[in-house]
């Protein structure tokens, strides 16, 4: 670590020097799940001082061995830094953590909220933070844990312009190959994230249907996807998931059916608010509920591809 | 044109020299629609002698000006060459043309069948050709007219191995960036083609739903797709169609709703034969029928993206 700056001095320093490469900060990180862990690790390996908190403390130990400081409570963490990142599984968990943060953050702190949540939750949390003199940035992220480890994540952000600019280098240190600014409307980033997860979910269902049709028509589905992956659908989402689905390698889950269903439920909740029909999203919800009903909530969410002809 | 060979001499010549680059052939081409026209033109521009036939003769004139010979009937065309390509809009048209071909082809001729048809149609036509001493190759193609003009098509082929090998250089001359051999089972190529068109159709519907959700949640959908097109869905299908759908530029159609519905009907007919549920395909059928019912059969098939919230 070369420098330790608080947020305020960071802004000043950047303003004078116009170069942030050597800046390291004291960052709090809450939520060390499948994705949170490698994101936190990236921040640590980028040279930042890292304070961590996780409901299940044992998950934090490998980071402690790398130099992170494990806190016993959210309050203990919040009292020691002006920048806190959270990456948790649902809106309820984030509301609960935010309640603790609002009671313990030091003045002018920034909360970078990476979780996939309802846009309206982002709005409510941002308002609550602002009322208490804190900043809130919506910064959901695209990428599975292996993308995090390879520093190939894509963060989508929305919030006050100066906060977006401030967060940009930090999110790059967190593994963001791309940081995409969707402007000052706080709900935008989480809406984009829901649209993206919906599109990936739709692709999973379509891949599954195509494999079922090919296989039961006497066609080598692996060969077919070998071609599609190099031609009409030559992109990482289709390449990765067609392979997982063809090989039925749904364990261990990088992103579980339970979380997939949670996201699709948010998509449909947002669709209802926006008065829009989303028939593929409704189909995904039905198929994911079917899989969860069969006790498959711990499989990778791509196992939804099995549902149509289960 | 450097050499004119019939198929038999081509095989011999290739056997001796092991090099086909300089070979030009006498090729019959039937079906000069949106895609057939540039494919035929590619063959002509690759130096082949081209005989053409089209139900609407006026569409053939630009090719005649480039040196193609317009025939007045299928029989007149078939009598003059040992290689005939067909690219027509549906199974019925291909059955009808094949009936004429079977009565007029010269011995040992090869029929390269590029149309998107039911796999079972390919089987029946191949059998009929073989019984009459002719060869039949299933060679459906992926790519819109602009891809044909840019020689970036992908042909999927199935049929006898020696026929596949013989057709490969010709299909490359026809604009095939890739020629993907799916083996000797004659139904394979058309099954793969139906799976591919289904997957693209599913992407259209999903793109539409994502745009509806974003727009009605206050997000700039063009900006969102600018990001998706460079990140999670960075491939030509999503890049091209998200742009068309966002701009609602559905005319002139490169591939019409009418033809899209025809293909989805084939997908579901094949799914029924294979005893497979394909709920997204069923949804596409419903949305495409809705659009056709509204008189929109001449729009590009990507207008199906409008159906969910029409």
Contacts of A236 in chain B (CB under 8 A): 232, 234
ipTM, 2 dp = 0.93
What pLDDT does residue A69 have? 97
Residue A85's beta-bridge partner residues? A29, A112
B3 falls in which pLDDT band (50, 70, 90)?
Answer: very low
Residue of B178, B189, B206, B282 to mutate, interface with A, max A Cβ within 10 Å: B206
What pLDDT does residue B290 have? 98
Beta-strand pair B110-113/B135-138? parallel
* pTM confidence score: 0.93
CB proximity A182 to B under 8 Å: yes
Contact A233 B199 (CB under 8 A): yes
Taking Cα atoms as reference points, which of A131, A77, A89, A150 lies closest to residue A114? A89
What pLDDT does residue B2 have? 34
**Core vs surface per residue A26-61: b (16+ CB within 10 A) or e:** bbbbbbbbbbbbbbbbbbbebebbbbbbbeeeebbe
Q: Point out the residue among A119, A217, A235 whose CB comes nearest to the CB of B191.
A: A217
Residues 6+ apart with CB under 8 A from A144: A35, A240, A254, A255
Tell me the C-alpha distance between A226 and A223, whole Å.
5
Contact B192 A219 (CB under 8 A): yes
A109: left (phi over 0), alpha (psi -120 to 50) or beta: beta
What pLDDT does residue B22 have? 53
Tell me the C-alpha distance between A207 and A305, whole Å.
7
What pLDDT does residue A4 have? 37
* Residue B172 a catalytic site member: no
CB proximity B185 to A under 8 Å: yes
What pLDDT does residue B23 have? 76
Shortest distance between the Cα of B215 and any Cα of chain A, in A, equals 9
CA atoms within 13 A on the CB side of B173: 23
Residue B129's beta-bridge partner residues? none
Tell me the C-alpha distance between A42 and A175, whole Å.
6
- B269: nearest CA partner in chain A: A213
Calculate mean pLDDT across residues B199-224. Answer: 98
Radius of gyration of chain A (CA): 20
Sign (positive or negative) of CA dihedral B48, B51, B55, B60: positive
A275: left (phi over 0), alpha (psi -120 to 50) or beta: left
Residues 6+ apart with CB under 8 A from A64: A52, A70
Contacts of A178 in chain B (CB under 8 A): 227, 230-231
What pLDDT does residue B17 have? 39
Out of A26, A172, A193, A262, pick the active-site residue: A193
**Stretch 229-258 of chain B: residues touching chain A, C-beta under 8 Å:** 230-238
Calculate mean pLDDT across residues B253-260. Answer: 96
Tell me the C-alpha distance between B150 and A208, whole Å.
32
Contact A198 B182 (CB under 8 A): no
pLDDT values of chain A reduced to their tens digit, one per residue, 310 residues: 333 344 444 443 343 334 444 578 999 999 999 999 999 999 999 999 999 999 898 999 999 999 999 999 999 999 999 999 999 999 999 999 999 999 999 999 999 999 999 999 999 999 999 999 999 999 999 999 999 999 999 999 999 999 999 999 999 999 999 999 999 999 999 999 999 999 999 999 999 999 999 999 999 999 999 999 999 999 999 999 999 999 999 999 999 999 999 999 999 999 999 999 999 999 999 999 999 999 999 999 999 999 999 9
CA A77 to chain centre: 21
Tell me the C-alpha distance between A207 and A205, whole Å.
6
Q: Point out the residue among B219, B232, B273 whose CB comes nearest to the CB of A191.
A: B219
Tell me the C-alpha distance between A138 and A117, whole Å.
9
């Amino acid at each position: 670590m070369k420098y330790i700056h608080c947020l305020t001095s960071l802004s000043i320093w950047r303003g004078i020097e116009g170069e942030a490469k050597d800046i390291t900060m004291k960052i709090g990180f809450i939520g060390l799940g499948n994705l949170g862990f490698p994101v936190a690790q990236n921040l640590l390996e980028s040279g930042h001082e890292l304070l961590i908190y996780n409901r299940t403390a044992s998950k934090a130990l490998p980071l402690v061995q790398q130099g992170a400081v494990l806190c016993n409570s959210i309050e203990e963490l919040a009292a020691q830094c002006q920048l806190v990142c959270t990456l948790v599984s649902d809106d309820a968990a984030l509301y609960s953590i935010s309640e603790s943060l609002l009671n313990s953050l030091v003045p002018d702190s920034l909360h970078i909220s990476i979780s996939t949540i309802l846009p309206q939750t982002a709005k409510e949390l941002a308002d609550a933070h602002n009322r208490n003199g804190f900043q809130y940035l919506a910064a959901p992220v695209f990428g599975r844990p292996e993308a995090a480890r390879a520093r190939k994540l894509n963060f989508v952000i929305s919030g006050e312009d100066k906060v977006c600019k401030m967060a940009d280098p930090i999110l790059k240190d967190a593994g963001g190959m791309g940081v995409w600014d969707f402007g000052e409307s706080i709900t935008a980033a989480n809406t984009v994230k829901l649209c993206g997860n919906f599109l990936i979910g739709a692709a999973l269902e379509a891949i599954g249907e195509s494999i079922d049709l090919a296989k039961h028509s006497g066609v080598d589905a692996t060969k077919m996807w070998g071609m599609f992956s190099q031609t009409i659908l030559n992109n990482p989402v289709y390449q990765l998931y067609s392979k997982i689905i063809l090989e039925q390698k749904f364990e261990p889950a990088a992103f579980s059916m339970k979380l997939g269903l949670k996201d699709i439920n948010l998509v449909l909740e947002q669709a209802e608010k926006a008065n829009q029909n989303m028939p593929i999203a409704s189909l995904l919800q039905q198929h994911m509920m079917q899989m969860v009903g069969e006790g498959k909530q711990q499989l990778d969410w791509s196992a939804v591809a099995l549902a149509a002809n289960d």
